Structure 1
Amino acid sequence: MSRDLKNFKGLYGEHQLPFPENFIHRELLAVRSKLYGWEIDQHLHTNLYQLFIFTAGSGTLLSEQQHLSLQPPCVLMIPANTLHGFAFQAGMEGDVFTFSESSLEHLFSDAQHVLLEIKKLNQLTFDHSEISFNEIVWLKDKTIRELDEVQPEKQYTLQHLTQLLFLSLYRISLRSETPVPPSDNRTLTYFLTFQKLIRQGLNEPKSVQHYARELTITTVHLNRICQAIVKKSALQVVHEFLITEAKKYLLNTTYSLSEVSYRLGFKDPAYFSRLFKKQTQLSPRAYRQQHGGRL
Structure 2
Amino acid sequence: MKKNLLNYKGLYGDNNQRDFEDFVHHELLATRSKLYDWEINVHLHTDLFQIFIIDTGEGVLIQDNTRIKLEAPCILIIPTNTFHGFEFQSNISGEVFTISEQFIESIFKNIPLILLELNKVKQYSFNADSPDLNDFIYLKNKIIRAISEDNRYKKISLQSLFQLFFIGLHHLNTAFEDQKESSNNRTLGYFHAFQKLIKKTLPESKLIKEYASELRITPVHLNRVCQTLVQKTALQVVHEYCITEAKKHLLYTSYSISEISYKLHFKDPAYFSRLFKKQTGLSPNAFRSNNSQKES
TM, length-normalised to structure 2: 0.94
Report the AA paired with residue 194 of structure 2. F
Which residue does 1:99 correspond to in 2?
A: 99
2:203 & 2:93 partners in 1: Cα distance?
Answer: 39
Counterparts of 1:148-159 in structure 2, within 5 Å, are 148-159=148-159
Report the AA paired with residue 133 of structure 1. L
Which residue does 2:12 correspond to in 1?
A: 12
Secondary structure in 2 matching 1:11: coil
Structure 2: where are the runs of 5+ without partners? none
1:219 & 1:203 partners in 2: Cα distance?
Answer: 16
CA-CA distance at 1:152 after TM superposition: 4.6
CA contact (8 A) 1:41 1:86 kept: yes
CA-CA distance at 1:92 after TM superposition: 1.2
Which residue does 2:87 correspond to in 1?
A: 87
Deviations 1:54-113 (A, max 9, x none): 001100000113211000100000100110000000131111001111111111111111
CA-CA distance at 1:175 after TM superposition: 2.4
Instruction: Specify whether residues 70 and 197 from structure 1 end up closer, same or farther in structure 2 by C-alpha distance, changes over 3 A only.
Output: same
Count of matched residue positions in the alignment of Structure 1 and Structure 2: 293
Deviations 1:191-250 (A, max 9, x none): 011111111102761111111111111100100000011010000000001001111111
1:146 & 1:225 partners in 2: Cα distance?
Answer: 38
Report the AA paired with residue 251 of structure 2. L
Match status 1:161 vs 2:153: no
Report the AA paired with residue 67 of structure 1. R
Match status 1:252 vs 2:255: no
Root mean square deviation of aligned Cα: 1.8
Counterparts of 1:221-240 in structure 2, within 5 Å, are 221-240=221-240
Instruction: Specify whether residues 131 and 105 from structure 1 end up closer, same or farther in structure 2 by C-alpha distance, changes over 3 A only.
Output: farther
Which residue does 1:125 correspond to in 2?
A: 125
CA contact (8 A) 2:203 2:238 kept: no
Which residue does 1:276 correspond to in 2?
A: 276
Instruction: Specify whether residues 192 and 203 from structure 1 end up closer, same or farther in structure 2 by C-alpha distance, changes over 3 A only.
Output: closer
CA contact (8 A) 1:10 1:19 kept: no
Report the AA paired with residue 57 of structure 1. G
Secondary structure in 2 matching 1:147: helix
CA contact (8 A) 1:60 1:88 kept: yes
Instruction: Specify whether residues 148 and 128 from structure 1 end up closer, same or farther in structure 2 by C-alpha distance, changes over 3 A only.
Output: closer
CA contact (8 A) 1:112 1:189 kept: yes
Secondary structure in 1 matching 2:171: helix
Which residue does 2:265 correspond to in 1?
A: 265
Which residue does 2:174 correspond to in 1?
A: 175
Secondary structure in 1 matching 2:2: coil
CA-CA distance at 1:138 after TM superposition: 0.7
CA contact (8 A) 2:261 2:267 kept: yes
Match status 1:21 vs 2:21: yes
- Farther-moved stretch of structure 1 (135-144 vs 195-204): 195-204
1:109 & 1:269 partners in 2: Cα distance?
Answer: 38
Instruction: Specify whether residues 33 and 180 from structure 1 end up closer, same or farther in structure 2 by C-alpha distance, changes over 3 A only.
Output: farther
Instruction: Specify whether residues 209 and 106 from structure 1 end up closer, same or farther in structure 2 by C-alpha distance, changes over 3 A only.
Output: same
1:219 & 1:204 partners in 2: Cα distance?
Answer: 16
CA contact (8 A) 1:2 1:254 kept: yes
2:101 & 2:22 partners in 1: Cα distance?
Answer: 9
Which residue does 1:53 correspond to in 2?
A: 53
Secondary structure in 2 matching 1:44: strand
- Farther-moved stretch of structure 1 (242-251 vs 131-140): 131-140
CA contact (8 A) 1:242 1:264 kept: yes
Which residue does 1:40 correspond to in 2?
A: 40
Instruction: Specify whether residues 143 and 242 from structure 1 end up closer, same or farther in structure 2 by C-alpha distance, changes over 3 A only.
Output: same
2:59 & 2:20 partners in 1: Cα distance?
Answer: 31
1:291 & 1:84 partners in 2: Cα distance?
Answer: 16
CA contact (8 A) 1:19 1:100 kept: no
Which residue does 2:30 correspond to in 1?
A: 30
1:238 & 1:129 partners in 2: Cα distance?
Answer: 43
Report the AA paired with residue 174 of structure 2. R
Secondary structure in 1 matching 2:52: strand
1:35 & 1:202 partners in 2: Cα distance?
Answer: 35
CA-CA distance at 1:20 after TM superposition: 2.9
1:26 & 1:139 partners in 2: Cα distance?
Answer: 13
